[in-house]
Structure 1
């Protein structure tokens, strides 16, 4: 077992992420939790995880562990969910809001089961913001181990704020199928190509005084 992250990390807007797609800025909230039963670790967009915290702004305790097999679940954790995750590149990182900081996780490009454990979420949610001199309010453990994909699950739910986010996730429509995602990407490429061509023609019209070459 190794721990690429251990200590405190800064969160904003009650969120932090795992990102592995170099061509993406990460999912939005609804995309991340589409079709899930749990609302603390959004894994509906391939190659990304959206991690929800009780604290809105400030430092939270945060540990990331990478295991060879499923670790035992400590009874001390109050809220626990599991999802499946596969990195989309050889570079996976824990990333702060707006990319303000990141921690490399060194994950292989394989299928993982991910367990996200939380403690103190309600107190942190009620306090909203933690200042530098104040004691820690909430802490989190994010664990990875190789495992085939399976649906997400809620293993333990104690806090009211976790219940709120689970309810939010269950109201989201299912994510697009691989075929639907591929079609959306194809249409986006066509739109980009059309925009590039329109810019090229506009530049030619400007360059030749409004008259295109024949």
Structure 2
């Protein structure tokens, strides 16, 4: 059985859509999202988040999200296809438009998923940049999830020039920090915060 929490047209800004599972986060930046990846359309380098790139800069795109119980077949109609791994950081994963304007709950469990992001019409949409309300649809996308163990991201199909550009951009990014490096950075940030709070407390005491 296939669950489709999103199906229709979504309004994009700056060619970006996100999946977020941390309610206190506004998502990763571009370099973080694609760090160490071979594909540049679905950035999954930051735990609990996905950065999804569209050909259209501004306007409505066709967009469907599917949740499967196992890997679905890859349809031949899709021109550009990438896969990555994703594990939600909470039970509240959502598809989120730029700046958090609108979101849709995805109903994902806190487990490991494989993600397949399929695209069609990216070059035409990229060349036009903006789609007005009365104009026909230029590009459309399919985002699929199914349970699977973590694995490296892959480019399964590349047709458009704009996808090739973003793949090249991703491959130039440095690898993401290891779990140990991330934990050390968080520890240093906590220490700095504690020190700043202690210094404020001392300053308040001297001012009394």
* TM-score (structure 2 length as normaliser): 0.97
Whole-Å separation in 2 of the counterparts to 1:138 and 1:202: 58
How many residues end up aligned between the 2 structures? 207
Aligned runs of 1:89-108 on 2, under 5 Å? 89-108=90-109
Structure 2, unmatched stretches of 5+, are none
Match of 2:187 in 1: 186
Match of 1:117 in 2: 118
Q: Which moved more, 1:59-68 or 1:14-23?
A: 14-23
Match of 1:14 in 2: 15
1:22-75 deviation per Cα after TM superposition (whole angstroms, max 9, x unaligned): 332211000000000000000000000000000111111000000000001110
Match of 1:85 in 2: 86
Instruction: Please identify the structure whose Cα radius of gyration is greater.
Output: 1
Whole-Å separation in 1 of the counterparts to 2:11 and 2:205: 49
Provide closer, same or farther for how the CA distance between residues 202 and 57 of structure 1 changes in structure 2, counting only shifts above 3 A: farther
Whole-Å separation in 1 of the counterparts to 2:44 and 2:137: 27
* TM-score (structure 1 length as normaliser): 0.94
Whole-Å separation in 2 of the counterparts to 1:110 and 1:39: 24
Whole-Å separation in 2 of the counterparts to 1:23 and 1:179: 22
1:182-201 deviation per Cα after TM superposition (whole angstroms, max 9, x unaligned): 00111111122222233333
Structure 1 runs (4+) greater than 6 angstroms displaced? none
- 3-state DSSP class of the match of 1:124? helix
